Amino acid sequence: MTGFLRGVVTALITPFSQDGVNFDTLGKLLARQEESGADGVVVLGTTGEPATMTAEEKEEVIRFSRAHVHKMKLLVGTGGNCTETAVKMTKLAASLGADGVLAVTPYYNKCTQKGLFAYYRAICEATPLPVIVYNVPARTGVNILPSTMAEITTLGTVAGIKEASGNMPQVMETARLIRGKCDLYSGEDALNLPILAAGGSAVISVVSNLVPADMKVLTECVATGDLKAANRLSDALLPLIKACFAEVNPIPVKAAMKLLGYDVGLPRAPLTEAEQETVLLLREAMKNYGLEVAE
């Protein structure tokens, strides 16, 4: 299928307190995204740290988000390294009112390309919801080859692929093979502009936690063919993007949201608090971009 997502979708952080998920802050983050004009949010994606959350916490986050998201699409990360668990999470997300699911490739198992197709077939058969395939080999240890993604598009509910391989020749070949069958989404902020220019219909962005409205403008500039404006905005965003990936995601973006004054807590172990050097880098990049940073 095509046309499910357009514009900017924010890969939302999960704010934590000592007692669990900080739902007060989560409500503020969701409201901020809606007010900014974001087209959607992903909860329980990589940036949301689901690997360190309990099943009960995940269900609560989905329920809460559904109750507080009104104008945007609500996507839920449901993938994992156990196909049966991924299917159950997908069914849960559907039952709780998700608009679509984001399913990362199985991590650690290092399955074959044939195994990838079987995994996505099981997820697609579990729900009528749009399914977004998520390719991020640096984190999972497995890469969806363009030919495999072309085969996955034959599964009727596949809406697109979130590409975060960082390999632009591969992205271009994937784009060629899936064009008109499902959509291409940028999953790597530093490559948002070239992936959009290659026909990407949306960005699923980490940095839009900080600047959702500006990321939306970037997508609109490309969609209307104003590449000069898109390049100007991309040039301004790149130092901020670089700072937000100075350590493994979501360590820096959580520190950056704290600098904006949001009580998001710390990443959960084994992730750690941002190093002071990273905080200083973020502070400088955010100030240079024009963001008001808490002292």
Task: Give the catalytic positions in this structure.
Answer: 134, 162
209, 162, 202, 206: which is closest to 26 by C-alpha? Answer: 209
Beta carbons of 260 and 245 less than 8 angstroms apart: no
Q: How far apart are CA 229 and CA 47, in angstroms?
A: 28
Element (H, E) at 147: helix 146-152
Contacts of 167 (CB under 8 A, 6+ apart): none
Distance separating the N- and C-terminal Cα atoms of the chain: 47
Q: How far apart are CA 182 and CA 150, in angstroms?
A: 9
Exposed, middle or buried, 35 (CB in 10 Å: 0-12/13-18/19+)?
exposed
